[in-house]
Amino acid sequence: MDVVKEAEMLGKVPLFGGMSSAELKLLAFTSQVICFAHGETLMRQGERADCAYVILEGRAEVIAETPNASFVVAELGPNAVPGEIGVLTDAPRTATVRAKGPLRALRISPDVFVRLATSRPERALYVMRQLSAHIANDLHAIASLKEALEKVQAEMAELRAAQH
């Protein structure tokens, strides 16, 4: 795939909305296409955020790991950008992302990603809004999971009480 085609694909990524054709071409030119096989890890929870990816083709699972278990919290498809928050905040990865079948992605370096995300005030504001929406969705999902957990815990307590 050439830079022009990759730039066209990047233009469909919501996080990159409003970027000029030249900016999208620069992003495509400075990125590396990587193919992952089913089950291969794109990033691991707790590791240093050394890049972001743009999924071009295929699907990936986002996996949360706890001391007791690992579980899938989301599935990502084309135009998703796993790793963007870690790159922008220079924080460790918050989850593991693994290919669910063959996957093709663009690996974006932190320097290019941050430079393009903050190159103009309106661009930085757009990125902040996109990330805020992402975080709001995550918080909503966490609240739903907490509610479901509390319901299960209450049901378990009722079962235990009925057994005694």
pLDDT of residue 85: 82
Cβ proximity of 43 and 82 under 8 Å? yes
Low-confidence ranges of the chain (pLDDT < 70): 1
pLDDT of residue 96: 94
The model's pTM: 0.79
Q: What ranges do the domains of the chain cover?
A: 3-118
Residues 6+ apart with CB under 8 A from 78: 55, 56, 57, 58
Helix axis angle for 21-30 and 110-117, nearest 10°, is 170
pLDDT of residue 61: 96
Residues 6+ apart with CB under 8 A from 4: 25, 28
Topology of domain 3-118, per CATH? Jelly Rolls (2.60.120)
